[in-house]
Amino acid sequence: MLAGNEIKVPDYQRAYSWDTPQPGVKSRKRTHTDVFLKDLEEHYNTASESQTTYYLGHFLFEKNGDTFYIIDGQQRLTTVTIFLSALFERLDEIKCFSTENSEDYILRKDTICFSTVQYDNIFFKDYVIHKSRLDTDGLETESARRIAQAFDYFRSELKDKSKEQLIGLLRIVSEATCTTHTVANETEAIQMFIFQNNRGKRPSNLEVIKAQFMYAVRLRANGDSDAKIQNIRQRFEDIYKAISHIEGYISEDDVLLYTFRVYVNSLWEDNPVGKVMAELKKDSALIFVENFTLALHQSFGRLKNFFSVEEKRSIAAHSLITLGNYATAIPFVIKAGLFNLAQDKKDQLYKSLEDLALRHSIIGTRGKITRRINDEFQGFSNEHIDITPILDQIERLKVSKEYWLSHWNNTALENALKGNVHIPAARFILWKYENHLISQGKGYAPKRFDDIQKPELEHIAPKTEPKEPRHGYGRYTERFKNEYLNNLGNYLLVSKSHNCQVGNVPFSKKHETYVHLRQQQEIRDMVPDAKRWSKNEIGQRQKKLSDFVLQNF
């Protein structure tokens, strides 16, 4: 398959999405490339006994001239190519295999046998195939970073293998079997993709819907189908480019859900796939396909701008994204972009939605926020581009005592802040508190969260009682461990290196290191003699931080 053909990933397909183990990060979770390599190694260790060839799975192609466009199996094929390139490089380094023998698998003269999507292909060619690029600086897409991570991972894993193991792995892959199906009719290719069970990473809801759209157009559009299919391809090419920028923040299927909520103008919708499939059965299916692919195109473009452009220019956007719990906010963000809302109005909207999201994170109620702001969402339209009703409703939720609205009010928030606050929310609060302390001085701009080097939360009184008898934290009673250790008042924002430095030491030693952020200096001012940090001090600081949250969120 690789030796005799030129294979390409069409640009309307998703880019490389397989995960790879991160260097220095221990995790029990298996990744796609990790499983791929372990499968090969296991087959190598047992092949002499079983005498079976390795099966790489099924691949589906659409043939166009002399080029085969891969419709299904491209993640595996990309990984195989990356692996072979790393393997041939290692074999050449130990002088046991000539790179000329790799020509048919990766290169034929100047022709690369396999090409990924256009926007990643130059990097793929330079970093993986020719190895003329040595750095990964300035990569714009997550898929390009995944390509680099996979190649670096295989390089690292192959470095310590023996000559016999390397040649054995090459033999397994080069002699592997697979099944392929090639069609010239795109309708058949789409239909097969829809019904085929995939090995590896299952297709997302968005991919399934894209295939269903193209299939519906082929069946219904008659003589106009080519133009309509091309329109879908072009829109999904842009969509997948956007996904490569935003997938670290939000999943494509979540964007599909939020797009559908915007499309039908209701936050109550939870089943976009079912509703889309129902629309495709109607006589108006082609109109729906045209309108909804446009809506998807606009949503992904809007969110690409939000996560990669606004995040850098607007502290309000940066803050909402840093909080992380922005599911409720995203449909509003999409609408704000569609309606060309002025940036100052966007910032007001982001801040208000952030307040609500933070309250929901801290309080942890089962009440659904979306149902309390759905009317305001529906009223926010191209004809009524006014965010005042949204802001007013969120302010109402903060103070209301009505049962339906009171889940997020100040009383509920104050009570929740007295207990254990989850680390992501506490870390966010302390970053905002740092900016509050900075703002007390004249002319100081707020500090971005990523200005703090690898920010972490430190337990001032450590989770494990120090062995020193006079450590300064008081008695570690059951009440102290349950009510004070994970209390907001016992958390401090520090850098990762600072956190590693202080560790499980007496308070007097920690006190000496608190010289970096304003809140660290505040701890020194609270306890100038550095003798004691126990439940009284934690309670005082908790009250101060609780008042800050209530006044600012």
Residue 116 lies in a domain: yes
pLDDT in tens, 257-311: 999 999 999 999 989 999 999 999 999 999 999 999 999 999 999 999 999 999 9
pLDDT in tens, 113-128: 899 998 899 999 999 9
Residue 156 lies in a domain: yes
Contact 540, 484 (CB under 8 A): no
Residue 253 lies in a domain: no
Hey, what are 174's tokens?
């080069």
365 residue type, one letter = T
Mean pLDDT for the chain overall: 89
| Residue 270 CB coordination number (10 Å) | 11
Last residue of a domain, one of 186, 208, 240: 186
Contact 158, 85 (CB under 8 A): no
Residue 199 has pLDDT above 50, yes or no: no
pLDDT in tens, 44-83: 888 665 568 889 888 889 888 888 999 888 999 999 999 9
Are β-strands 107-108 and 455-459 bridged in parallel, bridged antiparallel, or unpaired? unpaired
Last residue of a domain, one of 168, 186, 204: 186
Output the pLDDT for position 372: 94
Residue 443 has pLDDT above 70, yes or no: no
Hey, what are 186's tokens?
């795109």
Hey, what are 454's tokens?
């690898």
Question: Residue 5: which pLDDT band, with cuts at 50, 70 and 90?
Answer: confident
Total count of domains within the chain: 2
Last residue of a domain, one of 131, 152, 186: 186
φ/ψ bin of 39: left (φ > 0), alpha (ψ from -120 to 50), beta (otherwise): alpha
Output the pLDDT for position 198: 44
Hey, what are 164's tokens?
């016999």
From residue 397, give the alpha-carbon distance in Å to each of 366, 370, 419: 15, 12, 21
Give the pLDDT mean for 228-243: 88
Length of the chain: 553
Output the pLDDT for position 233: 86
Residue 41 lies in a domain: yes
Q: Distance between CA atoms of 190 and 253, rounded to whole angstroms?
A: 20
Residue 291 lies in a domain: no
Residue 236 lies in a domain: no
Hey, what are 81's tokens?
């190519």
Residue 3 has pLDDT above 80, yes or no: no
Are β-strands 111-112 and 491-495 bridged in parallel, bridged antiparallel, or unpaired? unpaired
pLDDT in tens, 202-229: 778 998 898 889 888 888 887 777 888 8
Range of the domain at 547: 423-552
Residue 165 lies in a domain: yes
Residue 368 lies in a domain: no
Residue 543 has pLDDT above 90, yes or no: yes
Beta strands in 138-254 (DSSP E): 177-183
